[in-house]
Amino acid sequence: MSTDATHNSSSTAGEIEKAFDPKLLVFCCNWCSYAGADLAGVSRLQMPPNFRVIRVMCSARVDPEFVLRAFERGADGVLVAGCHPADCHYIGGNYRTRRRIALLKMLIQQFGFDPDRLKLEWVSAGEGEKFQKTIVDFTNTVKELGPSPYRGGV
């Protein structure tokens, strides 16, 4: 009897762990990454359905406040996707983004978040497979990190 109870409690913990489905927010720039995401979709590449995309004109449009607010509201991970270096349609937007994300990673650490919960990736319009792989890898990374410390709101 006690063995069953022990078994049941450990399997319940395992089920909760397995059941953790991270909520990811993905900012895609209009000119490259959004088209890459679209290509992944129309190519029917398999991706976990746990992410929501917000299209912005350029990755540099992603204000640090957007990222902090996403975490505050329970996102387990935030991905910012933009054009490859030198391909930004606003000349140097993605260079600004790269610096901003590096600073934001340090900032979110101060709030108790693992910096790996924030990711920057370059995805061009023709890289549907890269978009898919990025989503799959990021989902796995965040799954390993577990639920956000702010999950459920503050």
Q: Is 82 in the site for ligand FES (CB under 6 A)?
A: yes
Question: For residue 60, how far is the Cα from the chain centroid?
Answer: 16
| Contact residue for ligand FES among 25, 26, 32, 53 (CB under 6 A) | 32
Assess 88 for contact with ligand FES (CB under 6 A).
yes
- 3 state DSSP class of 46: coil
Nearer to ligand FES, 123 or 135 (CB): 123
Nearer residue to ligand FES within complex by CB, 125 or 145 = 125
Figure out which of the listed residues 22, 36, 77, 93 binds ligand FES, where binding follows CB under 6 A: 93
In the list 24, 25, 29, 53, the residue contacting ligand FES (rule: CB under 6 A) is 29
CA–CA dist 29, 9 (Å, integer): 45
Residue 35, φ and ψ in degrees, nearest 5: -65, -35
Told to check if 94 binds ligand FES by CB under 6 A, we report yes
Contact 10, 99 (CB under 8 A): no
- Total number of residues binding ligand FES (CB under 6 A)? 13
Q: Are 80 and 120 in contact (CB under 8 A)?
A: yes
Closest CB to ligand FES among residues 35, 135 = 35
Contacts of residues 111-114 at CB distance under 8 Å and 24 or more positions apart, as own/partner, are 111/68, 111/71, 112/149, 113/71, 113/148, 113/149, 114/145
Contacts with ligand FES by CB under 6 A lie at 29, 31-32, 58-60, 82-83, 88-90, 93-94
